[in-house]
């Protein structure tokens, strides 16, 4: 390859790298400035937005946020929809329609669609693309399109410490107890007791805990062992059995 062609190719490669780096730096700047918190609320005026809580940018659809209360130290992922009522601009009264407790994590692309009452306790975590709503379509009149029939509202409650897996759907009227696991892709309705694992569509209890019997059915694997306090990096490498050091010259 002639020298001029090599120089042109090298220049183009450097330009591509520099452009890519500039784009990523610019997007990171936009994400940081666009994130919503109580110190940086942007155009939003939530009923409550606790200290240390952040809504990542870009946000999903958010309207009637004056009827949404978010506790402290929550992480709301990118493109999460949180809506109260049918349309923006509604006066839904003095009490929040959606209440999110402290320490919650809402996975990216999830939807919380409230019309009457959705309550998440403290430390509820969800995977991505979870759908939670307290309203369902009604279908009684065969002469009307289903979307034009008056819907049905039933409050939803998710107990503290629960984990909602990726793609799960929490239907109107669902009441989950404390420390409940909802398997990915499940569709949950009705009551779920404390300390239960549910799976399926519709979801059913596949594992539960009681003080008398422990976990039933029993686990087939050993519990992970937590690291002892004060462990050093060298001890960790020995414990894991991997050489975590970078290669020589790297």
Is residue 60 within 8 Å of residue 29, measured between CB atoms? no
- Please tell me the distance from the alpha carbon of residue 38 to that of residue 67, in angstroms, as a whole number: 16
Pull the structure tokens for residue 8.
């042109």
- CA angle, 63 then 152 then 203, to 5°: 95
Burial string for 90-124 (b: 16+ CB within 10 Å, else e) reads eebeeebbbbbbbbbebbbbbbbbbbbbbbbbbbb
Is residue 90 within 8 Å of residue 63, measured between CB atoms? no
The residue from 24, 111, 115, 137 that is catalytic is 137
- Please tell me the distance from the alpha carbon of residue 65 to that of residue 55, in angstroms, as a whole number: 13
Is residue 223 within 8 Å of residue 208, measured between CB atoms? no
Q: How many other C-beta atoms are found inside a 10 Å radius of the C-beta of residue 87? A: 8
Indicate if 137 belongs to the active site: yes
DSSP 250: -
What is the set of active-site residues? 137
């Amino acid at each position: 390859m002639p020298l001029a062609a090599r120089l042109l190719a090298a220049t183009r490669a450097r330009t591509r790298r520099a452009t890519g780096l500039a784009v990523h730096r610019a997007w990171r700047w936009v994400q940081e400035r666009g994130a919503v918190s109580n110190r940086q609320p942007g155009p939003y005026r939530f009923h409550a937005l606790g200290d240390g809580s952040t809504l990542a940018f870009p946000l999903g659809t958010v309207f009637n946020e004056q009827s949404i209360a978010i506790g402290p130290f929550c992480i709301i992922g990118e493109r999460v929809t949180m809506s109260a009522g049918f349309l923006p601009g509604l006066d839904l009264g003095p009490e929040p329609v959606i209440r999110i407790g402290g320490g919650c994590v809402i996975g990216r692309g999830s939807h919380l669609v409230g019309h009457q009452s959705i309550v998440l306790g403290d430390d509820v975590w969800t995977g991505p693309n979870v759908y939670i709503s307290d309203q369902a379509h009604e279908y009684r009149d065969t002469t009307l399109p289903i979307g034009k029939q008056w819907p049905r509202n039933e409050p939803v409650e998710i107990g503290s410490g629960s984990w909602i897996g990726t793609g799960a759907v929490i239907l109107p009227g669902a009441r989950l107890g404390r420390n409940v696991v909802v398997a990915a892709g499940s569709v949950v309705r009705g009551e779920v007791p404390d300390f239960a694992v549910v799976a399926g569509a519709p979801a059913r209890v596949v594992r539960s805990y009681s003080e008398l019997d422990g976990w039933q059915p029993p686990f087939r694997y050993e519990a992970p062992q937590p690291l002892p306090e004060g462990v050093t990096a060298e001890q960790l490498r020995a414990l894991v059995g991997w050489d975590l050091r970078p290669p020589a010259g790297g």
